[in-house]
Amino acid sequence: MSSSSSSETLAIAVTGTAWMGGGVGSVQSAIEELFDRADCEIQIAVYEMTAGATKFLNRLRVCLAGGIRVTMIINRYTDKPLPIRNRLEFFAKRYPHFEILNFQPENKMEDLHAKIIIIDRNKALVGSANLTWKGLVGNHELAVMVYGPTASKISELFDKLSQDHRITRVIVGTE
């Protein structure tokens, strides 16, 4: 861990066999640790999500069951695999404090490519890994965990994006 100021620290997390070990934790472990530390809120921005995100979704459900408010902005939500959308929509039906936001610009050349998880507005994981098997296990991905004022700024940017005209709330029916 390196420190940029007394109130802010950084840590690295990786995936991929060439980078694993040597005291550097995995992206999956970093996500689990952040979820375990969440007290009231999780903000997530994601580009891609597939069945490889099962472990992630299971941990997310534990947070939701514990009353943690979760907002998730997903790039082109309607293009995601049906089993993923069904699972997320099940969460939204069951947990009213879970909100799914769809980033769906008209311009096909524009995407939300960020991969961000923010916990309680003061801890953030920012990296290259998608929520896929390759992103969380197979690829060589790198993420930085940020604590302190920079994480708070990332949270503010997330809030700003969630209000953008390209964002729509995913409405799910009740059972």
CA-based torsion, 144, 147, 149, 151: positive or negative: positive
96 SS3 class: coil
Domains with residue ranges and CATH for the chain? 8-149 (3.30.870.10)
115 SS3 class: coil
Written as tens digits, the pLDDT of the chain (175 aa) is: 344 445 568 899 999 989 888 888 899 999 999 999 999 999 999 999 999 899 999 999 999 999 999 999 999 999 999 999 999 999 999 999 999 999 999 999 999 999 999 999 999 999 999 898 889 888 999 999 999 999 999 999 999 999 999 999 999 876 5
Burial degree of 25 (CB within 10 A; 0-12, 13-18, 19+):
middle
pTM recorded for the entire structure: 0.92
117 SS3 class: strand
Type of residue at 90? F
